[in-house]
Amino acid sequence: ELCDFGLIGLAVMGENLALNVESRGYRVAVFNRTTSKVDDLMAGRAKGKQFVGCHSLEDLVSSLKTPRQVMMMVKAGPAVDDLIETLIPLLSPGDILIDGGNTFYADTERRTKYVESKGLLYCGTGVSGGEEGALLGPSMMPGGSEAAWPHVKPIFQAIAAKVGPNDDIPCCEWVGPRGAGHYVKMVHNGIEYGDMQMICEAYFLLTEGLGLSNEELYDVFEDWYQGELNSYLIEITRDIFSVMDDDGGYLVDKIMDRAGAKGTGKWMSQLALDLGVPSTLVTEAVYARCLSAMKEARVRASKVLSGPNPKYSGDKTNFIEQIRDALYASKICSYAQGFVQMQAAAIEHDWPLNFGDCAMLWRGGCIIRAVFLDRIKEAFDADPKLENLLLAPYFQEAVERSQDGWRHVVASAAQLGIPTPAFSAALAYYDGYRRERLPANLLQAQRDYFGAHTFERLDKPGTFHAEWIQLRKKPKQ
């Protein structure tokens, strides 16, 4: 009996995705470069299930119904190109190659065109949710050859996370052509960086500023989890404050304060710079990880450089509420920036993205899943051309309500010497975005003064240049 789906790459993600597909009633053929992993799976978790273990790509291909659906779940990069080269001669016209890895979107742009030129279809799909998501229901962001969608849709939507009042809306919808799916996945990861950084800033204010214990932190995050901040990341943060180490004491307090990164946040920042859009939250989050990684340098500097006493002297309960406000308002700015970047990328690459769908795809299964995303979907459903989330009435009012607390937190953090790069960058973005006038008039004057870069005027159209040196007030000798 032929299989419905083929999966290559049986590491954490691939193995769990394969089990997920099989659990929905499909027959799955699997292959892994190191074939002992195929045997291990067949003898272990796949035992007695609808699996065919293959020891070669030829076997895998010949085990599949046509048009074949072959998903690659391998290390992103050259491994994918190598697999494509090997698979192309084995496949038939109309077969579909799927890349579910964390691939850089430009590689998917290129590979879609290449694979299509060989008469096959290509589907670059962002998959989020880690090990558990892969097994039980990830968030999936498929893009690539439009003609592939009707074929992959039944299996993709069957395995994806489900949301909505009846748990029947799959977190998987067609994103757009070529690399659109992987771009949206990258923005998801960048937003995840921002969310995590903002939660860490709240944590630092609560511990350094207010001296809260882990028990108290647990209660604060539990309280936040019950409200508009309800999200997976707030939930796991709460839980972290309850985990003890073997020798008593809390595990979180013993973890080295040096963050790692795999690079998707950096990609988003770099692409924001290329597009000329201010995605400052993800960028600050990436830089915060860089600064944390300089542990030894920080230890040396801590012995030399001084700052104020970080203890907050005002009302504790109020300050906790204000930190919640800062977190919520900053989060809105972060998502606003992410969607603005996707809008700019959609224009640049000619992708007809549906931004309400993008929010819906992240509603379940993935790391940034949150109730909040329903509000974003509603905002884009109400106005698909919404220029900025901050302008949607719901978010405008939310920031209106939060901004006193937010400003107090950023100002207090500055006075206490507690770094809050994301909260501060978010506020600077908000205050910059809402200003009709910014000091760029002076900047243009400076550019024209030293480089004759010219300027426009508020009072008349055209391009102007001034002889600043002749016109200036002569300095005293």
- Closest distance to ligand NDP from the beta carbon of 354 (Å): 22
**151 appears as a binding residue in the annotation:** no
Under the binding rule (CB under 6 A), the answer on residue 12 touching ligand NDP is yes
Under the binding rule (CB under 6 A), the answer on residue 73 touching ligand NDP is yes
Q: Binding residue for ligand NDP (CB under 6 A) from 42, 45, 67, 79? A: 79
Under the binding rule (CB under 6 A), the answer on residue 190 touching ligand NDP is no
Under the binding rule (CB under 6 A), the answer on residue 61 touching ligand NDP is no
Length of the chain, in residues: 477
In contact, 142 and 181? CB cutoff 8 Å? yes
**Count of C-beta atoms within a 10 Å radius of residue 118:** 15
Under the binding rule (CB under 6 A), the answer on residue 331 touching ligand NDP is no
Under the binding rule (CB under 6 A), the answer on residue 74 touching ligand NDP is yes
In contact, 131 and 185? CB cutoff 8 Å? no
Record the tokens describing residue 465, joined without a space: 């240049």
- Closest distance to ligand NDP from the beta carbon of 58 (Å): 15
Which H or E element spans position 190? Answer: helix 180-204
Q: Give the Cα separation of 466 and 472 in Å (integer).
A: 10
Number of residues that bind ligand NDP (CB under 6 A): 22
Under the binding rule (CB under 6 A), the answer on residue 75 touching ligand NDP is yes
Per the residue annotation, which of 192, 201, 284, 331 is the catalytic one?
192
**14 appears as a binding residue in the annotation:** yes
Q: Which is nearer to ligand NDP, 80 or 96 (CB)?
A: 80
Q: Binding residue for ligand NDP (CB under 6 A) from 54, 76, 97, 191? A: 76
Residues 23-42 that bind ligand NDP (CB under 6 A): 32-34, 37
Q: Which is nearer to ligand NDP, 161 or 217 (CB)?
A: 161
Q: Give the Cα separation of 310 and 383 in Å (integer).
A: 44
Under the binding rule (CB under 6 A), the answer on residue 45 touching ligand NDP is no
Q: Binding residue for ligand NDP (CB under 6 A) from 20, 63, 69, 102? A: 102
Record the tokens describing residue 256, joined without a space: 């080295």
Q: Give the Cα separation of 323 and 325 in Å (integer).
A: 5
Backbone torsions φ then ψ of 234, nearest 5 degrees: -70, -40
Which H or E element spans position 29? Answer: strand 28-31
Residue 301 one-letter amino acid: A
Q: Give the Cα separation of 464 and 447 in Å (integer).
A: 12
**Which span (12-20, 212-220, 233-241, 420-428) binds ligand NDP, by CB under 6 A?**
12-20
Q: Give the Cα separation of 383 and 356 in Å (integer).
A: 9
DSSP-derived secondary structure for 293-307: H-HHHHHHHHTT---
Is residue 153 flagged as an active site residue? Answer: no
- Closest distance to ligand NDP from the beta carbon of 37 (Å): 5
Q: Give the Cα separation of 267 and 89 in Å (integer).
A: 33
Q: 279 CB contacts (<8 Å, ≥6 apart)?
A: 190, 268, 269, 272, 337, 338, 340, 341
Is residue 185 flagged as an active site residue? Answer: yes
Q: Which is nearer to ligand NDP, 83 or 180 (CB)?
A: 83
**295 appears as a binding residue in the annotation:** no
Contact positions vs ligand NDP (CB under 6 A)? 9-14, 32-34, 37, 73-76, 79, 82-83, 101-102, 127-128, 130
Annotated binding site: 9-14, 32-34, 74-76, 102, 128-130, 188-189, 193, 262, 289, 447, 453
Would you name the residues annotated as active-site residues? 185, 192
Binding site, annotated residues for substrate: 102, 128-130, 188-189, 193, 262, 289, 447, 453
